[in-house]
Structure 1
């Protein structure tokens, strides 16, 4: 499963505003931004992204992932401070 496939799949499964995928099948880095994360803690946010990918991890189509999640407000604040 390549990065384009992962991005397309996640965008269909989760209402995200922005999604960035980097890496290769051995290690995927996901940065997800969306209103869906409002009111969630970090674990809950990561579970939203991890859950639809579970079958691909079990099938070894994805080896490892790291997930960063942000609400729109968190993302905008992070990028203003750069």
Structure 2
């Protein structure tokens, strides 16, 4: 898989999200900025993303992922602090 393929899978599960994907082969870093995460614990946020890519994990197209999730407010704050 390539990052664009992974990005398309995640974007399909989130309306209006800002999705960025880095990596190659079967290992990816996925960043999602979405207000759908508002009020959710980190595990629930991750589950929402995994729901978008589980079929590719099952068929071994994706082996490892690192996830970063932010609401829009969290993302704005992280960028201002230089940690995003």
Please report the TM-score for the alignment, with normalisation by the length of structure 1.
Answer: 0.92
Q: Secondary structure at the match of 1:23?
A: strand
Q: Secondary structure at the match of 2:21?
A: strand
On the 8 A contact 2:21/2:28 being kept in 1, the answer is yes
Q: 1:42 corresponds to which residue? A: 42
User: Where does structure 1 differ by over 4 angstroms across 4 or more consecutive aligned residues?
Assistant: none
Q: Secondary structure at the match of 1:40?
A: coil
Measured in 2, the distance between the counterparts of 1:52 and 1:21 equals 14
Measured in 2, the distance between the counterparts of 1:53 and 1:75 equals 23
Measured in 1, the distance between the counterparts of 2:25 and 2:59 equals 12
The worse-fitting range, judged by mean Cα deviation, of 27-36 and 10-19 is 10-19
Count of residues in correspondence between the two structures: 82
Q: Which runs of 5+ in 2 are unaligned?
A: none
Q: 1:74 corresponds to which residue? A: 74
Deviation at 1:17, TM superposition (A): 2.5
Q: Which runs of 5+ in 1 are unaligned?
A: none
Measured in 2, the distance between the counterparts of 1:36 and 1:30 equals 16
Q: Secondary structure at the match of 1:32?
A: strand
CA RMSD after TM alignment: 1.1
1:26-82 per-position Cα deviation (integer Å, ceiling 9, x unaligned): 310001000100010000111110112111011011111111100000000000011
Q: 1:33 corresponds to which residue? A: 33
